[in-house]
Structure 1
Amino acid sequence: MNKIILLITLSMLYFFMPGLHAQEADGGLPGYFLNLGMGARALAMGRAFVAEADDSNSVYWNPAGLARLKTNEITLSHYNLFEGTGYDCFTYAKPLTDKFSCGMGFIRLYSGKIDETNAANQVTMNTFDEKNTAYFVSGSLLIFKNLYAGASLKSVQKSFYFVTSNWTGADIAVLYDFSEKLSIGINAQNIICTGNSGVPLNIKTGLSYLLLDKKLRLTADTDKTNTRSFKYHTGLEFMLNKYLSLRGGWDDYNISAGFGAKLNNFRIDYAALNHPLAISSRVTLAFEFGNTPKPLKETQVSLEIPKEETIQIKKEKIQDYEIEVNTIKEIPTAIYHLFKEKTISVINLQIKNNSANETRFIVKYGLGAEKYEEIKEINIAGLEKISVNLTPLLTQDEIRRIEVVPTISNVFIEVQKVTGDTARTIYKQYYPVTLLPYDQFIPQLTDAKNETFNLLETLVSWATYNDRSLCEVLTKASDRGALLNPPVKIIGFQAPNVFTRRPFDDRLLEQKEKDYLAQIELLYNTLKDDYKITYLNQPVAYGDSQRIKLPYFVLQNKGNCIELSLLFASLLESIEMDPILVIFPDDKHATVGWKVNGEGRETCAILETNVFGEDFGKVYEKGKLLIEQYGLQAEFTDTVPFDETGTYKKGTSVIIYDLKKLRNRIPPSPYIPR
């Protein structure tokens, strides 16, 4: 891809080097009449059309441009030359899919009647004429995003008096749209020829650029054969409104001008070309018909869509507007409530208004089999393109009913164009989408606008301190603690004397750490003894996603390292301790810990979750070993330098999340027991 772009760019720079041109005629060369060109629009723009090719005349100027067409097109051209000489052209192009188009063309140059003379140079009663004809068959393919490739095969015949000659040739071309404003193109004409014709290779290169809110188009071309020097062409086109355009050009030392007028599907182009003999006129009539071909991928319809509602597509012709829709492929419903805050797009709709007038559109969209219909109105200024990101409604009740991995559903979108008081549907389509259940975690997601999001921090939403079923654990821990000697109270960060003395925490950091550890040991032993919680490595994966049980479900079963960490973090957060979640990506491991503030420091400790079920002392000591193994002693004995989001990364081996800070952006999961 990069090599192709580099080749085009270097060719452009080479052909536009100053001081290399000379004005030389093509007359007399085989196939010279082909240099007269096709289409009055291109001729009025000084023949600078290689990068602008976007109609059926592309079969001559740049066959790669045929793939830009969205509707069928026929053109007829007639040019009055001199002394009864005429030049006629016919072209036809048809888009077969949204990526491939084909076309054909015909050119005829014919002279007026020529008197026959004998050997004595006396005029006889006979006359004859000269005829040159060419037939084109072309194809074009969108091969990568904005890169087009095309080729034309042509058969050429010349007859003069009783002598006839024939030859065939091929043109190969590419065209690349760097942006909506800038395009470049190359057309290698006669790169292959047969019949010993001596037809010279002609290399055409060009660029096109839009200015003034895309109302002014500037073009520049050069062409070079192996028998003459460079010729240079420049052109401009100014769109006065959606019906009328003015054009002008400089055609290798000759000035050209013209206009284009359009009404519905009909277009007339006129060009006046300067010539040393006189000014000649060129006229082209064009007619567009047929609908825009459907993209091949749009025929893949979800099984949940009723048959009568599939393939109901109607697009207005490209001269008025263009519509492009992209949708997300997979939705992790566990964090669907976070999509808007994270700007994750389910539907990306792009509408380009090619007219000069502001246009109003109504967009209807929805997600799921129940087809909730949401409506959005959009006003688009003339010659403007907008991109809209949509997140359809998906209720919590719908999400709770999703149990199968994967669940196939669909998103739908309908676009209506408003004219006066009437709204007409111009686009309606359904797209398949995979829904993941609310307990399925995915670490990374690419949305409809092709933006990739790192979702690792959304693990925090599985820490559900809002789950009332955890109250039973705290009650049992409190009862157990009352029987200890000395008793241990479940009071979180508060000092034990807060209810009996003045509410001022004057404990030293060491005492705080001791009080925290006593409560954490009490919670752990309650889980181990009363709920038989132990570590079990039993991840359930689908693709890149993994099922992570919510805490209330882990209480009824065993859990893996991340599930046990989130359960314990939920308990700590529910008693207003400050939990931390420690991820070791390289080892695919997770642990839970807590912070203690005091004396200008913020110390941390962790528990090793893969030995849950063992005595608390072993779990705690294993946590200390992890701290040493990953070189976290300095951070955990002083202060972990969390960023403003509540995240700390040590290289690629450790990621630590401060749940209290992350809660500003990531609330606990709403899918807890009711």
Structure 2
Amino acid sequence: MVAILIFSIYNGGMAGAIFNYGLYPRSLGMGKAFCAVGGDVEAGYYNPAGLITLKSNDLRVAHQTLYGGGRLEYLGYSFPTKHYGSFGFTIINHGLEGFYSFDENLQSYTSFSFSQNCLIFSYSYPIGNFFGFGLNLKGISSKLAQYADFGFGGDLGIFLFPRESFSFGVMVHNLLPPRLTMNEKTDVFPNIFRFGGSLRFYDNRILIAADGAQPIGYELNPHFGIEFVAIPRALTLRAGVDGNELSFGGGFKWTYGRLAFGLDYAMLMHHAFNYLPANTHKLGLHIQFGGFRVWLKAKPKIFSPSPLHRENVLWIDLHIHAQRPVKRWQLLIRNELGEVVRTFSSWGEPPKRLTWDGLDDVGRSVSDGDYYYELVVIDERDDVLKYDDFLTTIKTIGPEGELETIPEK
């Protein structure tokens, strides 16, 4: 009875329910509305074509508690390339221990466990400026008591992003369906048609996503989610709902130059069962590094524009790692109030080094204080790379001299 209840919670015991659980707290906190989101390694699970928007190497690990005492462990890694598309690898381990068997007299016989492992290889490739396809090849092993089997499967997806703020995805799970046979019973994973759209606004700080998942022979399961970046590169809040669960979550992020570390959490409540199952909790860690990005290094960190001071010029080294040739670039320097005081921009590839003499765009000396930058690079496919951070501190230093004092007589 316990096993029947647990598996009925997930699409009525449908074969391949491991592909309905979700993997990482980000998508789980958004109600699993992720088919048209892309941009991280989870796309390999929801729609591999979404990996075409990947900008950096992405490593994620997560642990989930499932209803009835089950668990799910996840490890994913993806990376983009300049000319050959994006690649991803996903490892899933799902287990449930503590089943009991009984003989014909209903006497307890022995205990056993259920386990399932899945390895997914994902690949995506862009076609034109706003379209890409992706595919998954996956191997699945399953073991229940003394019975075990192994099967292969495949998925296919497409991803469209006609504008930076809007994207649309379509995915067919199990287009090549895995087949697992245990105790002379064969389970064939059903085809699942998944589609979704996502919209970003408020300078990409708000993301709204909606999916529909239609397993062949089962009802359509809707998914809705929202993500709000409360503090850029620091704090993100999430909420979502689908046909079974209501979810809430969030994440913290720490950025150190070209490295970003994150901690994510999600809590799921099963509204379809009137919230009777205990809430489940999901915890994950991620690291983003390398890939395509822009940043700069400026020296000195404190300088004086005075011509009488040796360090009177700021040297700015631009680091541009774009996937395609640069069409246009822009560097904005802002004061503590967020006002733009100096602009550097041009068509084509940017220079390796710039200098700033502490003057604004009309040739006036700027005031003392902290200054920040925003670097924007647009490539030939209108893909945007952007980064902002602290630049330097200006501290005006007057000319050196001696002050002579004459004592009173």
Decide: shared fold, TM above 0.5: yes
CA distance in 1, matches of 2:161, 2:100: 52
Q: Which has the higher helix share?
A: 1
* Alignment correspondent of 1:287: 287
The Cα shift of 1:289 comes to 2.1
- The answer to whether the Cα contact below 8 Å between 1:95 and 1:293 also exists between their aligned partners in 2 is no
Of stretches 112-121 and 228-237 in structure 1, the one that deviates more from structure 2 is 112-121
CA distance in 1, matches of 2:78, 2:339: 29
Alpha carbons of 1:112 and 1:314: their partners in 2 closer, same or farther (altered >3 Å)? same
Q: Which of residues 119, 129, 140 is equivalent to 2:113?
A: 129
Equivalent residue of 1:282, what SS? strand
1:189 aligns with 2:173: yes
Higher RCO by CA contacts (8 Å cutoff, separation 6 or greater): 2
1:269 aligns with 2:269: no
- The answer to whether the Cα contact below 8 Å between 2:331 and 2:373 also exists between their aligned partners in 1 is no
| 1:341-420 aligned within 5 A | 348-349=328-329, 363=344, 419-420=390-391
Letter aligned with residue 138 of structure 1 = S
The Cα shift of 1:245 comes to 1.0
1:311-339 per-position Cα deviation (integer Å, ceiling 9, x unaligned): x98348xxxxx897645xxxxxxxxxxxx
Q: Which of residues 242, 258, 261 is equivalent to 2:249?
A: 258
CA distance in 1, matches of 2:85, 2:387: 27
| 1:50-61 aligned within 5 A | 50-61=35-46
* Alignment correspondent of 1:177: 161
Alpha carbons of 1:226 and 1:386: their partners in 2 closer, same or farther (altered >3 Å)? same
Equivalent residue of 1:66, what SS? helix
1:229 aligns with 2:219: yes
Unmatched 5+ stretches in structure 1: 1-22, 295-311, 317-321, 328-347, 389-414, 424-674
Letter aligned with residue 47 of structure 1 = K
CA distance in 2, matches of 1:380, 1:420: 5
Equivalent residue of 1:42, what SS? helix
CA distance in 2, matches of 1:235, 1:418: 30
Q: Which of residues 132, 139, 143 is equivalent to 1:148?
A: 132
Letter aligned with residue 329 of structure 2 = L
Alpha carbons of 1:185 and 1:359: their partners in 2 closer, same or farther (altered >3 Å)? farther
* Alignment correspondent of 1:199: 189
CA distance in 2, matches of 1:100, 1:158: 31
CA distance in 1, matches of 2:332, 2:248: 29
1:140-188 per-position Cα deviation (integer Å, ceiling 9, x unaligned): 1122112121111111121101111222111111111121211111111
CA distance in 2, matches of 1:194, 1:158: 11
- The answer to whether the Cα contact below 8 Å between 1:137 and 1:153 also exists between their aligned partners in 2 is yes
Q: Which of residues 20, 23, 27 is equivalent to 1:42?
A: 27
Q: Which has the higher strand share?
A: 2
1:162 aligns with 2:146: yes
Unmatched 5+ stretches in structure 2: 1-7, 180-185, 295-316, 362-370, 380-385, 395-409
- The answer to whether the Cα contact below 8 Å between 1:115 and 1:128 also exists between their aligned partners in 2 is yes
CA distance in 2, matches of 1:170, 1:377: 57
- The answer to whether the Cα contact below 8 Å between 2:74 and 2:90 also exists between their aligned partners in 1 is yes
- The answer to whether the Cα contact below 8 Å between 2:154 and 2:175 also exists between their aligned partners in 1 is yes
Letter aligned with residue 95 of structure 2 = Y
Q: Which of residues 232, 245, 249 is equivalent to 2:240?
A: 249
| 1:545-624 aligned within 5 A | none
- The answer to whether the Cα contact below 8 Å between 1:175 and 1:185 also exists between their aligned partners in 2 is yes
- The answer to whether the Cα contact below 8 Å between 1:75 and 1:286 also exists between their aligned partners in 2 is yes
Alpha carbons of 1:381 and 1:233: their partners in 2 closer, same or farther (altered >3 Å)? farther
The Cα shift of 1:213 comes to 3.5
State which structure, 1 or 2, has the greater radius of gyration over its C-alpha atoms. Answer: 1
- The answer to whether the Cα contact below 8 Å between 1:268 and 1:285 also exists between their aligned partners in 2 is yes
CA distance in 2, matches of 1:372, 1:292: 19
1:113 aligns with 2:103: no
Of stretches 72-81 and 245-254 in structure 1, the one that deviates more from structure 2 is 245-254
Give the root-mean-square deviation of aligned CA atoms.
3.9
CA distance in 2, matches of 1:174, 1:380: 39
Given the two structures, how large is their TM-score scaled by the length of structure 1? Answer: 0.43
Alpha carbons of 1:229 and 1:235: their partners in 2 closer, same or farther (altered >3 Å)? same
| 1:404-553 aligned within 5 A | 419-421=390-392
Q: Which of residues 126, 129, 138 is equivalent to 2:122?
A: 138
CA distance in 2, matches of 1:127, 1:416: 55
CA distance in 1, matches of 2:163, 2:373: 19
The Cα shift of 1:422 comes to 7.2
The Cα shift of 1:199 comes to 1.3
1:283-314 per-position Cα deviation (integer Å, ceiling 9, x unaligned): 111111224389xxxxxxxxxxxxxxxxx983
The Cα shift of 1:256 comes to 1.1
* Alignment correspondent of 1:397: none
- The answer to whether the Cα contact below 8 Å between 1:92 and 1:103 also exists between their aligned partners in 2 is yes
Equivalent residue of 2:217, what SS? coil
CA distance in 1, matches of 2:227, 2:389: 29
Identity in percent: 23
1:323-375 per-position Cα deviation (integer Å, ceiling 9, x unaligned): 97645xxxxxxxxxxxxxxxxxxxx226799xxx969887487999xx99797
CA distance in 1, matches of 2:176, 2:50: 20
CA distance in 2, matches of 1:57, 1:110: 20
